[in-house]
Amino acid sequence: MSDAPVAALPADPDPGRVVIGVAGPAFEPRPAREPVHRPDTVVDGWAAGPFVVRGASVRGDQHRHDGTPRQDDFAVAWHAGTGSVVVAVADGVSAAPLAHVGATLAVRTAVEQAHRALGDGGVDWEVALRWAAYALVQFAEKLPPEADGAAGDGAQADGAQGDGAAERAERVLATTLVLAVVTSTAEGAVADVVRVGDSGAWVLADGVLTPTFPAPEGEVLTSTTAALPRLPEQRSPTRVELPPGAALLLATDGVGVPLGDGRGAVGAAFAAALASPPDRLGFARVVDFSRETFDDDRTAVVVWS
């Protein structure tokens, strides 16, 4: 080991937490009791082709206070052959005891399946969703009896095989999912987006955030509706155009609910902060903003074209 002196890092002040409106309570988070290895915050970011990508998943204040794990997750990959970014975010349903596992299984399986399909002629979106659903069912088959949570309704999960495992997956692993493939074009980029549940997508262009999907009308998300391993009736993607300089934002409802239609205080703050790609930790600070009454887990991935 070298004895050479190490240059001191600049003593920048702690920037603190981004506050939008009235801040929520300030406190030091408690460690997650189970699983002991799941981090409070995950950050990623890179550039490839014409794209810059930033992603962050942070535990919400409620889970930080209670010492429960982050139930959101994301996955993102670059497909060099087609010049595409493949990205997914998921929000494990709160009532499911292993929602965090379901979210991780869903995003990793969906991204891996879509990435593989791009090299074989294109994404079959229904197949990608079915693989994500089946990953939950396969995992549920191996769970010990004590992993079960609240009783389900006994319905067969669409896209799953095996009644017992499908029902267990609904009870124990239910999660939302939004999956997108962003591909460069001569005019900028195009994004195809499909979702299960209330996680959403927005386009940021000319300083304005516009939702890709209509706002839910009072629908309550439970372990038996709008969540994997069940599949929605609408399984084909929504296509959005991204002009040069625009960005696609995918997010769970911890971001999506306060963001809404993009016209409020949170929308204005996000549009300003994400007008150009911040550094990775700066992006995580934006996602981890403090605003009273909003204490859910938050996950967001942005792809700038």
Q: How many helices (H) and strands (E) does the chain have?
A: 7, 11
As for how many domains the chain has, the answer is: 1
Q: What is the pTM of this model?
A: 0.88
**For residue 262, how many other CB atoms are within 10 A of its CB?**
18
**Is 17 part of a structural domain of the chain?**
no
Asked if residue 27 lies in contact with residue 63, where contact means CB atoms within 8 angstroms, the answer is no
Structural domain for 269, as ranges: 41-304
**pLDDT for the residue 218:** 55
Helices (H), 145-214: 163-173
**Is 11 part of a structural domain of the chain?**
no
**Is 188 part of a structural domain of the chain?**
yes
**Is 192 part of a structural domain of the chain?**
yes
**Is 6 part of a structural domain of the chain?**
no
Residue 14, SS3 per DSSP: coil
CATH number of the domain at 122, please: 3.60.40.10
Backbone angles phi, psi at 228, to 5 degrees: -60, 145
**pLDDT for the residue 3:** 60
**pLDDT for the residue 290:** 93
**Is 15 part of a structural domain of the chain?**
no
**Is 2 part of a structural domain of the chain?**
no
Q: Which pairs count as long-range contacts for 78-84, CB under 8 Å and 24+ apart, including other chains?
A: 78/46, 78/48, 78/49, 78/51, 79/115, 79/118, 79/119, 80/48, 80/49, 81/118, 81/119, 82/118, 82/119, 82/183, 83/49, 83/50, 83/183, 83/184, 84/118, 84/181, 84/182, 84/183, 84/184
**Is 219 part of a structural domain of the chain?**
yes
Q: What is the pLDDT along the chain (305 residues), one digit of tens a residue?
A: 556 555 554 555 557 889 999 999 898 999 988 777 899 999 999 999 999 999 999 999 999 999 999 999 999 999 999 999 999 999 999 999 999 999 999 999 999 999 999 999 899 999 999 999 999 999 999 998 777 743 333 333 444 344 589 999 999 999 999 999 999 999 999 999 999 999 999 999 999 999 999 765 555 444 344 899 999 988 899 999 999 999 999 999 999 999 999 999 999 999 999 999 999 999 999 999 999 999 999 999 999 99
